[in-house]
Amino acid sequence: MNIILLGPPGAGKGTQARHLVETRNMVQLSTGDMLREAKDSGTEMGKMVADVMARGDLVTDEIVIGLIREKLEGDNKGGFIFDGFPRTLEQADALSRLMADEGQTLDAVIEMRVDDEALVARITARSTCASCGEVYNDNTKPIPADGKCSNCGGTEFTRRADDNEESLKTRLMAYYKQTSPLIGYYYAKDMLSVVNGLGAIEDVQRGISEALGS
């Protein structure tokens, strides 16, 4: 089963994708993670996108479609989870074409719905384990008192450079202007399920399982 997790920054796409990887052996394809990796390892492409990402704008369709194209050729185990891709109608059309070329189908699109106030609160409180990527939140899921990641025992935690109020405004605007039309696009294709992203992590997990029919 290949699925898209659709939702604004801070909706919990990454957290839920990680759970699906663990429980269903799926493969998470996060274009945000791929771009951050390129930036951190100092590739030419990484240097090109660094400023755009720091501002909170979208990088070009060409770059992210190229990243996804490469990954679709790899093993998809229990299926792909597209996390943060597609973000424009052009990307959505490209994904349909790429999947068809690979003889794959896109089975479901899950919109994770949350309100804007909750997003700002979540994002400004978020940190990530530098070793395994486990996501923490100062209010709802704090880093354990012993300072060790509950998933891998790592002791280093980072905050994303673009998790600040200024960039978040731009990221939200990009979501509403460029990405939210995908909700109608996939609704019209009869592929959309809506899950309330505001509940406890376990409740959202349950909502996603129901939407996936299991």
Give me the catalytic one of 18, 36, 39, 171.
171
Residue burial 125-164, b: 16+ Cβ < 10 Å; e: rest? bbbbbeeebbbbbeeebebeeeeebeeeebeeeeebebbe
Give me the catalytic one of 18, 97, 160, 169.
160
- The correct pick among 79, 84, 133, 197 for binding ligand AMP (CB under 6 A) is 84
- Verify binding: residue 50, ligand AMP, rule CB under 6 A: no
- The correct pick among 85, 122, 134, 175 for binding ligand AMP (CB under 6 A) is 85
Stretch that binds ligand AMP, among 85-93, 123-131, 139-147, 198-206 (CB under 6 A): 85-93
Give backbone dihedrals phi and psi of 156, rounded to 5 degrees, phi first. Answer: -110, 130
- Verify binding: residue 79, ligand AMP, rule CB under 6 A: no
- Verify binding: residue 133, ligand AMP, rule CB under 6 A: no
- Alpha-carbon gap, residue 13 to 194, rounded angstroms: 13
- Verify binding: residue 99, ligand AMP, rule CB under 6 A: no
Sign for the pseudo-dihedral over CA of 174, 12, 142, 129:
negative
- Verify binding: residue 59, ligand AMP, rule CB under 6 A: yes
Q: For 170-211, give the DSSP string.
A: HHHHHIIIIITHHHHHHHHTT-EEEEETTS-HHHHHHHHHHH
Applying the rule CB under 6 A, the residues between 147 and 166 that interact with ligand AMP are 162
Give me the catalytic one of 13, 18, 36, 122.
13
**Does residue 69 carry a catalytic annotation?**
no
- Alpha-carbon gap, residue 24 to 108, rounded angstroms: 15
- Alpha-carbon gap, residue 211 to 205, rounded angstroms: 10
> How many residues of this chain interact with ligand AMP, rule: CB under 6 A?
17
- Verify binding: residue 95, ligand AMP, rule CB under 6 A: no
Residues of this chain that interact with ligand AMP (CB under 6 A) are 9, 31-32, 35, 52-53, 56-59, 64, 84-85, 87, 91, 162, 171
Could you give the residue numbers annotated as active site?
A: 13, 87, 126, 160, 171
